[in-house]
Amino acid sequence: MSPILITGGTGFAGSHLIEALLEKGVPAADIHVTNLVKKPSFVDTILPEANIHQLDLTHSRATFELFAKLKPRSIYHLASFSSPSLSLENTTKAIETNVEIQMNVLEAMREHTPQARLLSIGSASEYAGSTEPLTEISQLGPHDPYGVSKVAQDMLAYSYTVRYELGIVRVRPFNHIGERQEPGFVVSDFAQQIVKIEKGLERELRVGNLTVSRDFSDVKDIVRGYILLMTKGQAGQVYNLGSGQDVTIQELLDKMKSFAKVGLSVSPEERKQRPGDIGRSVADITKIKALGWQPTIPLDETLQRILNWWRLKLLEGTA
C-alpha cells in the first residue's frame, strides 16, 4: 500500500501529526517524512530511520525522485520557511524558498502521483488586517514576507488544482502552540524564559508588543484538523483552522504568569517590537465546523502543558 508522506515532518506540527496518525492506528512503517537537515529529533523515536528522508525540497530532481520512489497516496505538505519574524530580515529567501518548494512538490505530484491527495498549508498571515473574524473569502493582504510567501504557495496550489484537476485541499491555520515549538514563537519564548526564571537562571521576562490579539490553538487540535481535511476536505477549497477566539498577548502573558512557580517581573524590549504588525487576527471557523471539526483543548491546559515540557527540557539540560 502506498504510504503517507509528510514534508517537513520532523518539525513542530509534523511531529504532532505523526503522533496523531499513530494514535489512529496508522502503522509507523506507512509514514514517511522529509527533513531539510539531518539532526536528532523527536521523530527519530517514533518512526523507522529509513522513513526519514533528508531532502532539500527546493531541489527539483531530489523531490521528483522521492515521489517516484514512494508514490505516496496522501501528502501532508508542511515543509516551509516558517518564521514570520525571520522573514522580515530575509525577504528574498523566505519567498523564493517557499515558492520553489511549492513548485517542486506540485510538479512532482502532477508527474508521479496525480491521483494522490495533498494538503497545502497556508496561514492566517495571508489575510489583511481586520477587526472582524476572518472568513475564507476575507481580503488577502499579508503584512510580512512570510505571509506573501504563503499567499504565493496557496495560489500555486489553487492554480494546479483547477488547471490539472489535482486532489489538493488548502488550509489556513491560525497560530498554533505546543511542545517542541521553537522559541522564536511567542508562547515558546515566554515559556522558555519563565522556566529559566523559576530556576534562577534569568531575572526578567523580556516581551514585545502585548497589545495585538491572535487566535491560538493547541497544535494537537490543528493536526486533527489536517487529518480530517485530508479525507473530508473538498479539492479546490480552502479552510480556516483556528479556535475562533482571540486573546491579546497581554492576556496570554497574564495566564502564563499565573501558572509560574515564582513571581515574574516583565521588561519590554525594543528589538521585539514589530511595527506594522496586524492588530487583531481571529478566525471564522464556520466552514471547517461544517465538516465536523471543532477545537477541544482549552488554552489554559495547553499553556500548562507547554510550561511543563520546558521544565522537563531544562531538567534534562536541553532547554
- Judged by the rule CB under 8 A, the positions of this chain that interact with a copy of itself are 91-92, 95-96, 99-100, 103, 107, 128-129, 137, 139-145, 147-148, 151-152, 155-156, 158-159, 162-164, 275-276
φ, ψ for residue 308, nearest 5 deg: -65, -35
- Write down the least CB distance from residue 148 to a copy of itself, Å: 5
Q: How far is the CB of 60 from a copy of itself (least distance, A)?
A: 8
Task: Of 238, 215, 21, give the one whose Cα is nearest residue 130.
Answer: 215
Q: Least distance in Å: CB of 134 to a copy of itself?
A: 13
Kind of pairing, strands 117-121 and 265-268? unpaired
Instruction: Write down the least CB distance from residue 147 to a copy of itself, Å.
Output: 7
165: left (phi over 0), alpha (psi -120 to 50) or beta: left
Nearer to a copy of itself, 60 or 250 (CB): 60
For residue 50, the tally of other CB atoms under 10 A from its CB is 8
Least Cβ distance, residue 124 to a copy of itself (angstroms): 14
In the complex with a copy of itself, the residue whose CB is nearer, 38 or 59, is 59
Only one residue has cell 472568513, namely: 135
**Cα(96)–Cα(204) distance, integer angstroms:** 38
Nearer to a copy of itself, 18 or 118 (CB): 118
φ, ψ of residue 84 in degrees (nearest 5): -55, -45
Q: Contact, 171 vs 238, CB < 8 A?
A: yes
CB of 172 to a copy of itself, least distance (A): 13
Cα separation of 293 and 274, whole Å? 33
Nearer to a copy of itself, 93 or 199 (CB): 93
At 172, list the grid cell.
489556513
Q: Is 69 exposed, middle or buried (0-12, 13-18, 19+ CB in 10 A)?
A: exposed
130 vs 245 by CB, closer to a copy of itself: 130
Smallest distance from the beta carbon of 105 to a copy of itself, in angstroms?
A: 13
Nearer to a copy of itself, 8 or 147 (CB): 147
- Cα 171 to Cα 122: distance, rounded to the nearest angstrom: 6
Per DSSP, the three-state class of 288 is helix
Q: What distance in Å separates the CA atoms of residue 105 and residue 107, rounded to the nearest whole number?
A: 6
Which lies closer to a copy of itself via its Cβ, residue 60 or residue 304? 60
- Alpha carbon distances (Å) from 8 to 5, 33, 120, 192, 256: 10, 7, 12, 24, 29
Instruction: Please report how close the Cβ of residue 140 comes to a copy of itself at its closest, in angstroms.
Output: 6
**Of 146 and 309, CB closest to a copy of itself:** 146
Nearest to 207 by CA among 267, 256, 257, 277: 267
Which cell is 200 given?
A: 534562577
